[in-house]
Chains A and B, each alone.
Chain A
Amino acid sequence: MSGEKPILEIKDLTFTYAGAETPALKNINLQIFEGEYVALLGLNGSGKTTLQLCINAVIPHMIMGDMEGSVTVQDLDTAEYPTRELAKIVGVVFDNPEFQLSQMSVAEEIALGLENLGVAVEEMNPIIHEVLDIVGLSGLGDRSPFELSGGQQQRLSIAAALAMRPQILVMDEPTSNVDPIGKEEVFAVAAKLNRERKMTVIMAEHEVEVMAAYANRIIVMDHGEVILNGTPTEVFSQLDVLEKAGLRVPQVTEMAYRLEHDRSAHWNSVYPVTTEEAFQRIAPLFGGKHD
């Protein structure tokens, strides 16, 4: 990827909230490329949300504080371009589904962004249909956003962001307030966008097992710093580092790690991060019956 130009570049970023004593972000350097699915892991207060707010320029334009370094999105320096002007590049979905919605109907919720961009009214309906179709909410255009389930509301927020044709989708714990079926729906939509539309996804999430399955890069934050950055296998293998930062790894990774370290077992290969990987490694070891 070295020759490629990053879609998001963060250089020496340090940010301290107004009135705070210690910085929320310390000297962050990151490059994210088009089409990546990046998972941000870290405890509450580790800087995940702050970092995400920097990507679409809410910091420094809407939230006050002391910012050093630079964040560049598609060649635009966020210090110069306010959030509203980055809306066409960065779409954002937050953790509380209800707190992002304001309109009388699902269609109007999506139209809101288009109105702000001055999109002609005739062009709106095709866009609304298209994005509702992508997130699987076709036919619900006339419903009130507040009558939808949590999972549907989050997918509506995704659709509202998509309507503005962003290249990066930033999601801050989008499933922390929805039930299991809603989680499944939201993860599936994010994965589909990433796979089929080359959408760059940057998702903060606690569910390490799910991130192990979907993300192709994991970034771990601790006390405002990036402490690990790599593929799921690379990152989760560092179980000791993650545990020190208070984080879990996928159960199957922990299993393999502890078999080697606590039970003197010979795992003899990279640690698995998904159930499938673990199954492939273990199933053949049972003698006899195969089906």
Chain B
Amino acid sequence: MTNPVIECQNVWHIYGGSVTAVQDVSLKIYPGEIIGIIGQNGSGKTTLVKHFNGLLKPTKGKVLVNGRDTGPMRVQELSASVGYVFQNPNHQLFARTVEAELEFGPRNLGLPEDEVIDRREKAIEFFGLEPLRHSHPYRIGFPLRKLVGMASVYTMRPAVFILDEPTTGQDNVTTRIVYRLIHRLRDEGSTVLCVAHDMILLAEVVERMVVMRDSLLIADARPREVFSDRALMGSTHLLPPQITELTLRLKEQGKLPQVSLSVSESLDVFAPLFGGKSEGGQA
């Protein structure tokens, strides 16, 4: 059994001595997982993930990253292991060119110049930023600027990526790019945590969902289970994607054994009803 890359042991976080934002959360995250962390604003999900890279320290309990207690560790130290991509790229970008932006992280890590350049080039290739390498980050449209924000953390080569609402403000094209990138990050061996409201991301990309409500971790399960639990979804005000909702209604009437999480999945289920081919193939 591999060791968890992040482990929370009965973590509590209380702001200002009175406002409890996270209550007694225990959680193990393993290398290579793609996890969605969901919940309303104020549910404690952002507070929780800020513990993973040391931006916050638990009031009670422990957070271990690669087996080490984050208690005495500084954010700067942890930044090499856990990368945090903020929701709004404008909070992260400041340099005059995309290239300089990408070099900022590795330079902070004190890496030698050729390694810095190497990582920059890898990021440009990985995120498809070649045409933008000399552009000013603020002159790039918001969706691509957000990719630059992700890339600027990618150059730190963290084992864990925390993506805060990676698809908010994206359009369909860039959203699809983000989905692909998440899979590619995992293929390179990274763990990806998405703090997200994007239901299609959660249904089609994420493999495990952690649900927070009122500072408590109320569910930790596979998307299919979470999306099948109407009470759970309702209590967090999350609307499932149309296909999931449709198949859930059919499942509730006993017509389907399980919900579908994507359009492709549903085709196999529905095609026979319309005299079509149940297996995917050339039409």
A→B interface (CB under 8 Å): 43-45, 149-150, 176-177, 179-182, 184, 206, 209, 246-248, 250-252, 254-255, 258-268, 274-275, 278-279, 282-283, 285-286, 289-291
B250 within 8 A of partner (CB): yes
Known A-B contacts A149-B41, A259-B276; the reply to A251 vs B241 at CB < 8 A is yes
- Residues 22-43 of B, flagged 1 when their CB comes within 8 A of A and 0 if not, give 0000000000000000001110
Contact between B250 and A282 (Cβ–Cβ < 8 Å)? yes
Extra pairs beyond A286-B255, A289-B253, A289-B255 (14, CB < 8 Å): A43-B172, A150-B41, A176-B169, A180-B236, A251-B263, A252-B243, A258-B263, A259-B267, A261-B283, A262-B283, A278-B246, A279-B249, A279-B250, A286-B250
Interface positions of B from 172 to 191, Cβ below 8 Å from A: 172-174
Cross-chain contact A255 with B243 (CB below 8 angstroms)? yes
**Interface range on chain B: under 10, 10 to 19, 20 to 34, or 35 or more?**
35 or more
Are B267 and A275 interface neighbours, CB within 8 A?
A: no
Asked if B270 lies at the interface with its beta carbon under 8 angstroms from chain A, I say yes
* Cβ-neighbour of B275 out of A177, A266, A286 (below 8 A): A266
Residues in B whose Cβ lies below 8 Å from that of A289: 253-255
Which of B214-266 touch A at CB < 8 Å?
A: 236-239, 241-243, 245-246, 249-250, 253-255, 263, 266
Q: In the complex the two chains form, is B172's CB within 8 Å of A259's CB?
A: no
Q: A179-B41, A259-B274 are in contact. Are A275 and B246 (CB under 8 A)?
A: yes
Instruction: Flag whether B136 is at the interface (Cβ < 8 A).
Output: no
The contact of A247 among B172, B255, B283, by CB within 8 Å, is B172
Assess whether A246 is in contact with B172, with CB atoms less than 8 Å apart.
Answer: yes
Q: How far is the CB of A250 from chain B (nearest CB, A)?
A: 6
How far apart are B242's CB and chain A's nearest CB, in angstroms? 4
CB <8 Å contact, A206 and B172:
yes
Task: Please indicate the chain A residues that have their CB under 8 angstroms from the CB of B245 in the complex.
Answer: 275
